[in-house]
């Protein structure tokens, strides 16, 4: 309680400090905009008045000069009087002393003022007093962590009956010193978080967004999840396949070489779910299918084969056919296409007291693809605690993620 209360105080203080800084910035920008508007109106309005004043002052100055010249002509010498009067008369005829520039009336002259509505304070006050809430219990909580090879299946649930969720938001971080980052946003209540290092603690939290709302709910109580299972990896270096940096994605390249790409180690154990996902390698296309193409598991790596459709292996071809020890079953699954997900689940079925000593060993296998599944028993001549997985594609363009 104390930790969450301290965190909540820090969040509130930071949020309102940010708000105050933003509001001050917005008010300063609005003030500057209004002041610039006043300056612009003043300059535009005063310019014609200044020009009118200059014309009037010039006319008065000209008339004053003419008046002094006339007085000089009248009071001057008799010999020069006629010449000065003649010059004065010519100037007087060319100067229009009885005209003035048009002066705007008072109603046309701007008179600036500022209109400031006090209701803004009332609106802000009402909004501020309703801004933010403190919740003692978030509407969703983390429910379960299930270990996966190199990943964790995280499940959460709604704990507030009155809350109607529209979306969920899951975040995680590797250690308490790093920042949380989004790993899933959507309507599902579970998600497999991949790229998890084994035997390392990760902290998770989840929140939700109510139906028709934009803001997210408070975060759930952070919880620690970890996996002890090493990630599935394809074997590097096989010509014909290119791997991702984490070696969990295999891309069939355009090399003419063919063969089965196996896992680096027998990392699949009974009781787990092995998932293959066909991801896009081009714009919206996958490779051309071939009847030898296959995805599956096997007891051991056997080089020299171009398909998993062989002894001591179970697999599904890209056309949906299921093979057990190299023999095709009558049951068939949907074809593997772009975005398809194929899963393998196995459990041990004991046959007699000698099953762990080299006798018959039976595994119950469930293969699922596109919401359909087949279930059968796979009989082996030896006990297998772990299995390899593999794939084979004849044509380039196929891209498979394993987890």
Check residue 77 and give its pLDDT. 66
In 53-186, at which residue ranges do the beta strands (DSSP E only) sit? Answer: 140-148, 151-158, 165-173, 181-186
Check residue 387 and give its pLDDT. 94
pLDDT in tens for each of the 403 residues of the chain?
788 789 889 989 999 999 999 999 999 999 999 999 999 988 888 887 787 788 888 878 888 877 887 777 777 666 666 777 777 777 777 776 666 666 667 777 778 888 888 888 888 888 888 887 777 788 999 999 999 998 999 999 999 888 899 999 999 999 777 899 999 999 999 999 988 999 999 999 999 998 878 889 889 989 999 999 989 999 998 989 999 998 999 999 988 888 899 999 999 998 899 999 988 654 445 678 889 999 999 999 998 898 999 999 999 999 999 999 999 999 999 998 888 899 999 998 875 555 444 457 889 999 999 899 999 999 888 888 789 999 999 999 899 999 9
Check residue 345 and give its pLDDT. 95
In 340-398, at which residue ranges do the beta strands (DSSP E only) sit? Answer: 341-349, 361-369, 372-380, 386-392
From residue 189, alpha-carbon distances to 140, 198, 204, 273, 305 in Å are 10, 24, 14, 19, 42
Check residue 265 and give its pLDDT. 93
**Is 340 within 8 Å of 370 (Cβ atoms)?**
yes
125 exposure class (CB count in 10 Å sphere: 0-12, 13-18, 19+): exposed
Helix 2-75 to helix 78-94 angle (10° resolution) is 140
Check residue 283 and give its pLDDT. 42
Check residue 351 and give its pLDDT. 59
**Is 166 within 8 Å of 240 (Cβ atoms)?**
no
3 state DSSP class of 266: coil
Check residue 177 and give its pLDDT. 73
Write the DSSP string, 199-224.
T--EEEEEEEEETT--SBPPPPPPEE
CA–CA separation, 316 and 369 (whole Å): 9
- Point out which residues pair with 202 in neighbouring strands: 225
CA–CA separation, 215 and 217 (whole Å): 7
User: Over the range 251-279, which residues count as b (16 or more CB within 10 Å of their CB) and which as e?
Assistant: bbeeeeebbbbbbeebbbeeebbbbbebe
Query: What structural domains does the chain harbor?
Result: 1-130 (no CATH), 140-227 (2.60.40.10), 241-402 (2.60.120.920)
Check residue 44 and give its pLDDT. 84
CA–CA separation, 155 and 144 (whole Å): 5
CA–CA separation, 315 and 329 (whole Å): 11
């Amino acid at each position: 309680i104390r930790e969450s209360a301290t965190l909540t105080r820090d969040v509130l203080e930071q949020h309102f400090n940010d708000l105050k800084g933003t509001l001050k910035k917005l008010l300063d920008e609005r003030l500057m905009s209004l002041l610039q508007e006043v300056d612009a109106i003043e300059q535009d309005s005063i310019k014609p008045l200044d020009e009118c004043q200059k014309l009037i002052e010039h006319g008065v100055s000209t008339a004053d000069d003419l008046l002094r010249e006339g007085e000089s002509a009248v009071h001057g010498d008799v010999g020069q009087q006629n010449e000065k009067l003649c010059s004065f008369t010519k100037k007087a005829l060319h100067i229009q002393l009885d005209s003035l520039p048009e002066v705007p009336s008072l109603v046309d002259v701007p008179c600036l003022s500022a209109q400031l509505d006090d209701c803004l304070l009332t609106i802000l006050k009402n909004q501020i007093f309703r801004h933010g809430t403190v919740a003692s219990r978030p509407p969703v909580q983390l429910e379960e962590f299930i270990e996966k090879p190199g990943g964790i299946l995280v499940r959460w649930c709604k704990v507030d009956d009155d809350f109607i969720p529209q979306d969920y938001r899951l975040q995680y971080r590797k250690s308490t010193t790093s920042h949380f980052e989004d790993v899933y946003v959507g309507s599902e209540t579970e998600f497999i978080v991949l790229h998890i290092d084994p035997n390392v603690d990760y902290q998770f939290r989840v929140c939700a967004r109510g139906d028709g709302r934009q803001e997210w709910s408070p975060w759930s109580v952070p919880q620690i999840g970890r996996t002890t299972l090493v990630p599935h990896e394809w074997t590097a270096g096989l010509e014909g396949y290119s791997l991702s940096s984490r070696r969990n994605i295999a891309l069939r390249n355009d090399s003419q070489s063919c063969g089965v790409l196996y896992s680096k180690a027998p990392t699949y154990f009974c009781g787990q779910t092995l998932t293959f996902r066909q991801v896009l390698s081009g714009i919206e296309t996958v490779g051309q299918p071939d009847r030898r193409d296959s995805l599956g598991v096997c007891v051991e790596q056997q080089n020299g084969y171009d398909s998993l459709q062989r002894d001591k292996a179970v697999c599904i071809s890209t056309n949906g056919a299921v093979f057990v020890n190299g023999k095709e079953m009558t049951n068939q699954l949907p074809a593997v296409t772009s975005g398809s997900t194929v899963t393998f689940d196995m459990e041990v079925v004991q046959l007699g007291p000698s099953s762990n000593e080299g006798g018959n060993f039976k595994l119950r296998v469930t293969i699922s693809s596109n919401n359909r599944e087949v279930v059968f028993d796979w009989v082996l001549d030896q006990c297998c605690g772990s299995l390899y997985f593999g794939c084979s594609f004849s044509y380039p363009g196929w891209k498979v993620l394993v987890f």
